[in-house]
Amino acid sequence: MTVQVAQVKIEEVNFDQDLFIDVRSPGEFAEFRLPNAINVPLFSNEERAQVGTVFKRNSREEAIELGLALYAPKMEYFYKRIKDLQTEMPNRRIVVYCFRGGLRSRTIAGTIGLLGVDCVQLEGGIRSFRKYIQEGLEQEAQIQREYLVLSGHTGTRKTEILNQLQNKGYPVIDLENLAGHRGSIFGYIGVQPNSQKQFDYLLLKRLKQLEQSPYVIIEGESKRLGRVILPDFLLEGKQIGERLELHYPFWARVEHVYQTYDPIKYKGEIQEGIDKITKYLSYELKEEMKVLLDREDYKGVFAKLLEGYYDPRYAHKFSSYKSQATELEFETLDEGVEKVITYIEHYKTMIKK
């Protein structure tokens, strides 16, 4: 007895209602996945590498035989796991996918289908989703929208202000949050970085949510956030957009950086970050930093980094903007949020004219 595996195209799935079962390895799943997908891997990372090696060195047939040998002992687990998910979410269609909609997802869909669990296979696998995202971003790049750019030196609480604005319903695109990286040499500390593919999906999702807004609010980021490269249309929007330059007291910035990166908890990571930029520091600054690090005076370390490295680099970047900035000074986060909101409300009346 055989089961005909039904397929659906990426345009036919419902990202909110369908139950996506990703049968790729845990490593593939961690890099990029469909929304709210559940990983039920056919192979472990090591098993996938083993099958791939046999495919390359020997033949497709031997790789398939090895794959079946690895899969056979797991059949009962797959059936019970997916059956349990169906029981938990009985009103959701099960969509099984792998990398390109090939043997892995067809094997699982066929097996559980034969055992009475209704499901469909995603045609083209995760590759079709990637293509869908790329085409969506290309379409977004053609849309005319205004950009309000929050810029300022490192430690000026831009991310916290953006978070509060978004919570209040303003059309914020929090690029650092989407990338899982804060942008500086320490930006990966305490967060989970996203891959380029996952970032692109999250960005497209946010842009779709804001499609009725005539403007968006972004932070004045550089082209790269960790492993992620921002699309050209956002970089162009940053260059020509209305700019709000935030000014926060120097020692308040130092305190904020200290609290954000928690050098007591992440001492090793802080040292690793400093090592990466040592070649860009003057001899005098390196010597001062060495003394401060030996004393574990991390507030002093961050102050020196702001003064001797980050602030001069920002001054250079500031001069490259094509638009003039409106200056905004504040002493506390609440004051900063209030002043930014006042400015946004004025800005909204201007773009309507």
d(CA 254, CA 28): 38
**CB–CB of 198/37 below 8 Å?**
no
| Burial zone of 80 (CB within 10 Å; 0-12 exposed, 13-18 middle, 19+ buried) | exposed
Q: 20, 36 in Cβ contact below 8 A?
A: yes
Q: Which residues are catalytic?
A: 98
How far is 27 from 314, CA to CA, in rounded Å?
A: 36
Instruction: Give the residue carrying structure tokens 């791939």.
Output: 52
- Residue 330 CA, chain-centre distance (Å), reads 30
Residue 303: Cβ within 10 Å count: 19
- How many Cβ atoms sit within 10 Å of the Cβ of residue 126? 26
Cα(75)–Cα(95) distance, integer angstroms: 18
